[in-house]
Amino acid sequence: MDANQYIALAAFLFGIGLVGVVVKRNMLVVFMCIELMLNAANLTFLAFARRAGNMNGHAIAFFVIAVAAAEAAVGLAIVIAVFRTRGTLNVDEVASLRN
Amino acid sequence: MRRFLGMVLFAICVPLSMVLLGRAVYWLVAGAEYLATSLGAPPTYGAAIANVILLMLVFVMTTAALLTIGERKWSAMIQNRIGPNRIRVFGNSAGGIFFLAADALKMLTKENINPSQRSRVLYELAPMAAFAPSFALFAVVPVGPAVDSVVNGVRTTVALQVANIDAGLLFVFGIASLAVYGTALAGWASNSKLAILGGVRASSQMISYEVSLGLALVGSMMAYQSLRLEEMVRAQGQLLWGFLPALGFFLQPVGLLVFFVSAFAETKRTPFDLPEGESEIVGYFVEYPGMKFGMLFLAEFIEVVVLAAITAAIFFGGWHPVLFEGWLRENLSPIWFASVCAGAFLTKVLLLCWLQLIVRWTLPRFRFDQIQKLCWKVLLPVALANVFITGALILVDPSLELLGLVGLVEIAAMAVITAAVSRKVEVPAHAHAAAAAVAGH
Amino acid sequence: MIDRAEVWVFWVFAVPLIMASAGVVVARNPVNSAMSLVAAFFFLAGIYVLLTAHLLAFLQVLVYAGAIMVLFLFVIMLLTTGDQDFERTRLKVMQVAGAFGAAGVVAVVVLAVNRLGPMPMSAVPSNFGTVKAVGRLLYTQYLLPFEATSLLLLVAIVGAVVVAKQRI
């Protein structure tokens, strides 16, 4: 089986995540869609690692997972802090830096 | 006297019947391999299917179901009551075993009352999400050693393990961490304040204890240099100084303590039963009727069995029948030796289940801040220190003997501390008499 | 035979994976989104196993499905009170633009991959993707990034506490 299918699958996942980030207004769901995009990137790493036959891609994917864990911890803390000061999770209403 | 004899008889009969059970399972797995080879499939396919059915469905399920009755009976003994004895067949209550059938009948025939504001899909999904992961955990537990045999002309091995996965312990952590969804979703989907309190408590408690659960086993991974449970069990057969088996109990007593406490918190049973808390919030399953509640309830007991199995495999030598192992190996045929091993493992599992029942009925419930404090301020630092010390000791002495020595010192220290801290409670003599009078004997 | 089975298993995991990840975007309720994402991660782990990345598959389930998503679920339960319909305020223009943009990205990637022609998998040793092999790689060649990651996690812990706690 070729690596093409895996790459195409990763592209689909990335696309779905991108749609979610642009379309969804709930901060938490936007965040989840970012995780989905990270996973799509991971899938390409692993697919190419399998194709090339060396495990460097595995190491990179490992780091992506670790960074995603750190990102989730800090990100959720920020979401909680924002909710506490603004009382909302809607990304459109949290735009005071813009004006 | 009659009671004492009965207990002795019980203590002899349980391991014996477990050995016979092991023999039967080996026989059936070999039969399944025969069937698979007759159909032209590799024999391992048949073994896998037979193991799933026999070990996971039959053994775990039956033990969990019997534990529901066992717990009632045992709690009655602890509280000086008689316990379930009302359902009699031919005038005999048989230790309350008929309550099993009665309970099942009750759960299955109850009216299905669902909260109208529930989140439909998740509400139905939650009991399954609680039930499935605890089952799946048993897949990597090696119940018995692999026996070489010739099935239908094909050289193969007959093993009592569903899957011998390379990253076995990671599988355990991963699947165990999925168990939280069942409770969290049950709490959320019921759309009830009490239920969601239970769900939130469950998720915060379980996500905290997962950390120390994982760290507690790192020492064992380093000592046995593998993540495969089967290899870890086999490594526990080696002898330290020529006589002491390298059980996890001796090498990693601190790891065992931290693991057992954390895993107990994951099962959400009494010292840690904040998510249920019958006397305050009833629990995440308040809104569940009939068999859906039954599944959430049974999931807890399955977790008890699986926790006992994993503890037995990693810390109590798995299928090694520690006593007289060399003699048994020499004097029994391979298949009977394997059966004795499987019987030893199953007996250990039952004993550890019993230990959990004792803990469940002797300790009071923690406060919530105490639960979090215990996890983050006690278990986690202890587990981290254990990892460092174990690593250093293995680095100094790869033959594990130094680690064993330190382990024995740790056991002695724990025993001394326990004896020094425990207080003697004076019970007035008339209290016994009053309790006996109330209980009716 | 084996190759054919691999194709079948791929589709068995890929189709639910796409459906579950679409569910993340389609679901109106954040809890449903989160559960879809958990399911997606699970199927993705299946795909990883198919790519003989066993360690990564288990880490995927352990870290993503078991830890990160539980954290998400916890925060959702904590913060989502009452009915907050976010999607009423969303802009139709952005919705359409997002869909088109994503479709464009997918199209470009798929076209590029197809232009490359088939990329056959190479034969891999039996220890490919196992704990021991990947672990050895992490502790030799990638030692510095590995240690840097541990530092990052420490910083993240401290940062999360500082940000989320009102009074320290």
* Residue range of the domain that includes A75: 4-86
Burial class (CB in 10 A: 0-12, 13-18, 19+), B243: exposed
Contact list in A for residue C129 (CB cut-off 8 A) is 55, 58
Q: Is the pLDDT of residue A60 over 60?
A: yes
Query: Hey, where are the domains in chain B?
Result: 94-138+166-439
A44 touches chain C (CB under 8 A): no
Q: Which residue has the higher pLDDT, B154 or C104?
A: C104
Q: Is the pLDDT of residue B214 over 60?
A: yes
Q: Do C31 and B188 touch (CB under 8 A)?
A: yes
pLDDT level of residue B429 (50, 70, 90 thresholds): low
Residue of B nearest to C75 (CA): B200
In this structure, are C117 and C50 located in the same domain?
Answer: yes
Nearest to C101 among A6, A22, A49 (CB): A22
In this structure, are C64 and C123 located in the same domain?
Answer: yes
pLDDT of residue A37: 92
Q: Do A23 and C25 touch (CB under 8 A)?
A: yes
* Residue range of the domain that includes C151: 130-168
Burial class (CB in 10 A: 0-12, 13-18, 19+), B191: middle
Give the number of other CB atoms < 10 A from CB of residue B136: 20
Give residue B126's identity as a one-letter amino acid code: A
Nearest to C101 among A18, A29, A35 (CB): A18
pLDDT level of residue B433 (50, 70, 90 thresholds): low
Would A9 be classed as within a structural domain?
Answer: yes
Angstroms from B264 CA to nearest CA on chain C: 18
| CA dihedral sign, ordered B29, B32, B37, B43 | negative
Residues near C46 by Cβ (< 8 Å), separated by ≥ 6? Answer: C9, C12, C13, C57
Whole-number CA gyration radius for chain A: 17
Does the model's pTM come out above 0.90? no
A12 touches chain C (CB under 8 A): yes
Q: How many structural domains comprise chain A?
A: 1
Contact list in A for residue C95 (CB cut-off 8 A) is 22-23
In this structure, are C50 and C61 located in the same domain?
Answer: yes
In this structure, are C144 and C124 located in the same domain?
Answer: no
Helix (H, G, I), strand (E, B) or coil at B392: helix
- CATH code where residue A24 lies: 1.10.287.3510
Would A70 be classed as within a structural domain?
Answer: yes
Please give the average per-residue pLDDT across A38-52, as a whole number.
Answer: 90
Cβ(B145)–Cβ(C33) below 8 Å: no
Q: Do C70 and B184 touch (CB under 8 A)?
A: yes
Q: Do B210 and C66 touch (CB under 8 A)?
A: yes
Cβ(B25)–Cβ(B142) below 8 Å: no
Q: Is the pLDDT of residue C147 over 90?
A: yes
Q: Do C70 and B207 touch (CB under 8 A)?
A: yes
- CATH code where residue C85 lies: 1.20.120.1200
Residue of A nearest to C99 (CA): A19
Alpha carbon distance B335, B159 (integer Å): 11
Q: Do B167 and C70 touch (CB under 8 A)?
A: no
A 61-80 → C contacts, CB under 8 A: 61-63, 65-74, 76-80
Q: What stretches of chain A show up as alpha helix (H) in DSSP?
A: 4-23, 27-52, 56-86
Angstroms from C22 CA to nearest CA on chain A: 6
Helix (H, G, I), strand (E, B) or coil at B88: coil
Q: Do B203 and C77 touch (CB under 8 A)?
A: yes
Would A51 be classed as within a structural domain?
Answer: yes
pLDDT of residue C43: 92
Would A80 be classed as within a structural domain?
Answer: yes
Alpha carbon distance A82, B372 (integer Å): 25
Q: How many structural domains comprise chain C?
A: 2
In this structure, are C121 and C50 located in the same domain?
Answer: yes
Would A32 be classed as within a structural domain?
Answer: yes
Helix (H, G, I), strand (E, B) or coil at B428: coil
Cβ(C70)–Cβ(C29) below 8 Å: no
Mutation choice for C interface testing from B124, B134, B140, B180 by most C CBs within 10 A: B180
Give the number of other CB atoms < 10 A from CB of residue B426: 6
Q: Is the pLDDT of residue B38 over 80?
A: yes
Would A31 be classed as within a structural domain?
Answer: yes
Q: Is the pLDDT of residue A95 over 90?
A: no
Please give the average per-residue pLDDT across B265-277, as a whole number.
Answer: 84
In this structure, are C80 and C137 located in the same domain?
Answer: no
Query: In this complex, does chain A touch chain B, defined as having at least 3 beta-carbon pairs under 8 Å apart?
Result: no
Convert the pLDDT of each residue in B20-36 to its tens digit.
888 888 888 888 888 88
In this structure, are C110 and C140 located in the same domain?
Answer: no
Q: Is the pLDDT of residue A30 over 80?
A: yes
pLDDT of residue B242: 77
Angstroms from C70 CA to nearest CA on chain B: 7
Q: Is the pLDDT of residue C68 over 70?
A: yes
Residues near B85 by Cβ (< 8 Å), separated by ≥ 6? Answer: B93, B96
How far are the Cα atoms of A52, B412, B429, C128 from residue A57, in angstroms, in the given order? 9, 47, 72, 12
Would A92 be classed as within a structural domain?
Answer: no
In this structure, are C19 and C91 located in the same domain?
Answer: yes
The neighbouring-strand residues paired with A2 are C120
